[in-house]
Amino acid sequence: MAQALFQPNRQREESPDKIVSEKIKEKASQLKFGEENIPADLFDSAAKTIAEELNKAKGKYNTTTQIRRFYDELIGWQQRIKGSNDGERNAEFEKYKAFIRMMNAKVAYAKGRELVDANFEFWFNAANKATTTAKALDHFRLHFEAVLGFLKGMEKPK
């Protein structure tokens, strides 16, 4: 009987940092990297929409400094991939693909430490999954750069 006293009367709602917005789900599902004809809005309105959604959780989540750490690591992996043609670059990409995918675990860890929110994790995982070639990695990096630029532009001056 005492146990029933401590049972909640209703289900708790998920906190906002655990909910992925519909805009993030939509934009993440449309990510196409590595194709010759990438979506025209990939580095513009799509990146801006993602940045706006990430900016909503500002405070302890999604600081530009924290997100920049993931961007810098992505650049590091991109710089390791060398080659004079797509075939050579794709072979290099395959060598590092597991390490690039491991970034998803690092994002999950940052989310667990409440440094990034569910929106960032969802978008990053979708973008990482869409990265299947060296050229796709280039496009992911440029898209990430655009998101970071928009996010930084939304910061309030100190």
Q: In whole angstroms, give the CA distance from residue 125 to residue 71.
A: 13
Question: CA–CA separation, 157 vs 153, rounded Å?
Answer: 10
pLDDT of residue 43: 95
How is residue 16 annotated by DSSP? G
Q: For residue 3, what are the contacts with CB-CB under 8 A and spacing of at least 6?
A: none
| Of 82, 85, 67, 80, residue with least CA distance to 121 | 67
Alpha helices in 81-157 (DSSP H): 86-101, 103-112, 118-129, 134-153
Q: Going residue by residue through the chain (158 aa), what tens digit of pLDDT does each one get?
A: 455 555 544 443 456 567 899 999 999 999 999 888 888 899 999 999 999 999 998 688 999 999 999 999 999 999 999 888 999 999 999 999 999 999 999 999 999 999 999 999 999 999 999 999 999 999 999 999 999 999 999 987 76
Structure tokens at 125: 């995982």
